[in-house]
Amino acid sequence: MNFPGAVILWIALALLAVGLGFAAAHVIQGLRFSHGDRRILVATLAYIVAVTVIVGLSMILTMRVDWSRDVIIGGDEQPVTQQINDL
């Protein structure tokens, strides 16, 4: 995982934890479904969804694999694909 991607991922995870904390606090308080509480609930849920999407995108972007290169095993300079073909 590259450094900027890891930083984005950790920040997004921290924000997700804060959002989940807000949601848990509202559930524990027992939501009274007045107009204000409904707006707070919708905003909290939208926040959690947005942060979850950010986490997912950052994981996808930071865990890219370059499949175009062959992996070298051990000390011999023979790519894996060649070793498989030799079998």
Is residue 84's pLDDT more than 70?
A: no
Average pLDDT over residues 71-78: 54
Check: pTM over 0.85? Answer yes or no. no
Q: What pLDDT does residue 68 have?
A: 54
> How high is the pLDDT of residue 64?
60
Dihedral angle at the C-alpha atoms of 76, 77, 80, 86, nearest 10 degrees?
-70
Going from N- to C-terminal start, the domains of the chain cover: 1-87
pLDDT digits (tens, 9 = 90+) for 23-73: 777 766 665 555 566 777 777 777 777 777 777 777 777 666 554 555 555
Question: Residue 44 in contact with residue 26, Cβ under 8 Å?
Answer: yes
